């Protein structure tokens, strides 16, 4: 039994420091990867260009459109699943982080803005914000695969249903 456990043991990769502006490589299947950028508050911006080779022009990478922004747990960058491959200063538009953490009640929600949680925010102020749930790297990779396969992502759809389920503001 102990031999089986040791044979399946995968050593943890080197810990990395999340520095705003760091560019990370996110492999989402055996062939392709994309790049993402560490923002200010545990969140990342994921760029819309898939690669089957290592990019050398990071300026060109960050000119690509952003697919989505999301808060990701430590397993992505800090624990080394997504290696840091470069660092470029954040542009002004990426220095502000706004997320909805979910409904507070039927008329309001909680938000996470620039690292601060705000409670009981009017529902109208939360519309259009990205989901503030903390995503695992595996679910982020699934979301990217779904995006490039043109299929809806289960977790994104589920979050959207929370808005429409009891939304009486329309």
Domain span at 50: 15-165
Contacts 24+ apart (CB under 8 A), 148-156: 148/28, 148/32, 148/50, 156/131
- The reply to whether 170 falls in a domain is no
pLDDT number for residue 80: 92
Indicate the number of domains in the chain.
1
**Residue 26 counted as domain residue:** yes
pLDDT at position 162:
64
Positions of the chain with pLDDT lower than 70, given as ranges: 1-13, 104, 162-170
Q: pLDDT value at position 163?
A: 59
Decide if 75 is inside a domain. Answer: yes
**Is 139 domain-assigned?**
yes
Pairing mode, if any, of strands 22-27 and 33-38? antiparallel
Q: Could you tell me if residue 5 is inside a domain?
A: no
**Does residue 99 contact residue 129 with C-beta atoms inside 8 Å?**
yes
pLDDT of residue 12: 52
**7 occurs within a structural domain:** no
Establish if 113 belongs to a structural domain. Answer: yes
Residue 25 lies in a domain: yes
């Amino acid at each position: 039994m102990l031999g089986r456990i040791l044979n399946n043991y995968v050593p943890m990769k080197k810990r990395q420091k999340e520095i705003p502006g760091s560019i990370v490589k996110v492999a989402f299947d055996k062939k392709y990867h994309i790049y993402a950028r560490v923002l200010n508050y545990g969140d990342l911006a994921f760029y819309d260009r898939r690669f089957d080779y290592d990019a050398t022009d990071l300026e060109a990478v960050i000119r690509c459109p952003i697919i989505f922004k999301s808060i990701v747990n430590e397993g992505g960058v800090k624990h080394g699943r997504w290696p840091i491959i470069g660092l470029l200063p954040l542009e002004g538009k990426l220095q502000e982080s706004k997320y909805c953490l979910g409904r507070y009640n039927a008329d309001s929600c909680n938000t996470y803005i620039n690292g601060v949680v705000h409670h009981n925010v009017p529902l109208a102020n939360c519309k259009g914000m990205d989901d503030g749930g903390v995503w695992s790297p595996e679910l982020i990779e699934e979301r990217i695969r779904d995006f490039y396969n043109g299929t809806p992502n289960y977790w994104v759809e589920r979050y959207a249903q929370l808005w429409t389920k009891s939304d009486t503001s329309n």
